[in-house]
Amino acid sequence: MRIMPEYESFDALGLASLIKRQVVSPQDLLRVALARVTDLNPMLNAIVHTFTDAALSTLAVQNTQSIFYGVPFLLKDLFADYAGQPTSAGSHYAQGFIAQVDGELVKRFKSAGLMTFGKTNVPEFGLQCVTESRRFGPAKNPWDLTRSPGGSSGGSAAAVAAGVVPMAHGNDGGGSIRIPASFCGLFGFKPGRGMTPAGSPFTQNSLTVVEHVLTRSVRDSAAMLDILSQPQAGHFPYLNLLQAQVQGLQIGLIESPFFKSSVDRDVIEGLHTTGFVCQSLGHSVEPVSLWAPDETLALSYTQLTAHALSQGLKQFAREMNMPLHRADVELQTYILLEMGSRLSASDLAQAQAVIDQASQRMQAFFKDYDVLMTPTMGMLPPLLHSQDLKRWESAILSMIACLPNKPLLKQALIFGTRRMFSTIPFTPLFNMTGQPAMSVPLHMSREGLPVGIQFIADKQQEGLLLQLAAQLEGAKPWFYVRPQMGR
């Protein structure tokens, strides 16, 4: 029998309201959340570390009038430094690392009154679209325990979808908030570039990674964006915007993947059904096409990602006096590190020029349209381990790892890029070009699995997207559409 079964009927703002009205205490809610961890995490493997005493100690120094005061919260175990707690990034290499100070991101979570009590499962350094690290093993999707919740914020998504917490931290460098939101039936919002602070020094090396949260309600996401983007307490422009109806948007619809891949028929059905919902709300929806993003663009993104990873881990190795060896990390991580360390200034400048050109083309699209609509993912949540390297793939990459010369690494880079982008053909483009994007849980497959629909707006138009999301939430509510194990 569950403690406080009504707990899952509230979003984060709802729970905060109960605390302010003294219906429950933060300690009550933490007990509920921990009971759900005990009950559900053995099946989900979503949470890899808890710190109850530290969570309770924050209550004594927080403003009781903070918007999320006392609400249980989980941090993604990646790029989120919480003083006195480990940040392992899903890697054996980082085990034993304890953050000495709070990162700016965590400071703002604390300023919101959140009671952070644990860290969630991630793939190693967030580099995969499923959460199946060698260090912690696979996180599982509460909708179907034989499937992945996605990645890299897969542990956070599984915990929210199962009702352990109403909201959890995520970051997104190629779809890592939107992918698990789609697979787990959540609202996943990626702010535009530079809107939220970096979680740790690692993300300062990357222009594509953005920090935010995964939520069950749009209003929780809007309120948190106010906290993360506005250092001043008590200012809630995004949350307040939700009270106004957005009207007459010009929405362009794209069903074909940007990079070579296939799209499941349930996904296409969900996209067109959502188009009809948007039309019923008074918006114009029409099929459109972009310029054709090509392999050069995908390779440029992978090169810049490899460089950022290499620079970040070099910095970490110096600070911790921990030299990195081949056996310390997974094979695909090692290949990326080797590639990143061998890129010249000319290679990086050329890759950045390709990304900049894509950004300019995306800006031009938004001169004619308010919003772009696509699938979030081309497929349904994948079966566990279905994204593993095949034996022959591992053999070839292992050989290259033993002889890491630049020509061989370039071939490995091409292979890895094609493999990754065939899995995530819709989300990474908007990390490259910097626009805000969101995955909205508006459809269910024939198998009863969630299907997210992605919406993208021009830079600085986060408010417009959130208004549209709130409108869609009102037209097609998803809050009580829950996996069986979360009830």
pLDDT digits (tens, 9 = 90+) for 398-438: 999 998 888 999 999 999 999 999 999 999 999 999 999 99
The answer to whether residue 322 is domain-embedded is no
H helix intervals, 281-405: 295-320, 331-342, 345-365, 391-402
Per-residue pLDDT at 202 exceeds 90? no
Residues facing residue 389 across a β-bridge: none
Percent of the chain with pLDDT over 70: 97
Confirm whether 172 is domain-assigned: yes
CB-count burial class (<10 Å; 0-12, 13-18, 19+) for 72: buried
Q: Are strands 371-375 and 250-253 parallel, antiparallel or unpaired?
A: parallel
Residue located via tokens 């429950």: 24
Is 260 in the active site? no
Question: 99-124: per-residue pLDDT in tens?
Answer: 999 999 999 999 999 999 999 999 99
On whether residue 298 sits in a domain, the answer given is: no
Q: Is the Cβ–Cβ distance between 136 and 78 less than 8 Å?
A: no
Q: What is the pLDDT of residues 436-454, one digit of tens each?
A: 999 999 999 999 999 999 9
Q: How confident is the model at residue 486 (pLDDT cuts 50, 70, 90)?
A: low
Q: Which one is catalytic: 88, 176, 182, 359?
A: 176
**Domain presence at residue 65:** yes
Q: What pLDDT does 406 receive? A: 87
Whichever domain contains 44, its CATH number is 3.90.1300.10
Q: How far apart are the first and last CA of the chain?
A: 11
Residue 166 lies in a domain: yes
When pLDDT is averaged across residues 374-384 and rounded to a whole number, the result is 98
Which domain range does residue 187 map to?
5-247+460-486
Residue 236 confidence (pLDDT): 85
Span 13-56, pLDDT tens digits: 999 999 999 999 999 999 999 999 999 999 999 999 999 999 99
pLDDT beyond 70 at 204: no
Of these residues, 91, 133, 152, 300, which one is catalytic?
A: 152
Rg of the Cα atoms in the chain: 21
What's the whole-number average pLDDT of the chain? 95
Please provide residue 442's backbone torsions phi and psi, each rounded to the nearest 5 degrees.
-110, 5
Q: How confident is the model at residue 318 (pLDDT cuts 50, 70, 90)?
A: confident
On whether residue 481 sits in a domain, the answer given is yes
Mean pLDDT score, 74-81: 94
The answer to whether residue 91 is catalytic is: no
Is residue 376, in this structure, part of any structural domain at all? no
The structural domain count of the chain equals 1
239, part of any domain: yes
Q: Does 152 participate in catalysis according to the annotation? A: yes
Residue 234 is predicted with a pLDDT of: 66
Q: Which amino acid is at 438?
A: M
Q: Which is it for strands 450-457 and 47-50: parallel, antiparallel or unpaired? A: unpaired
Among 66, 76, 359, 439, the active-site one is: 76
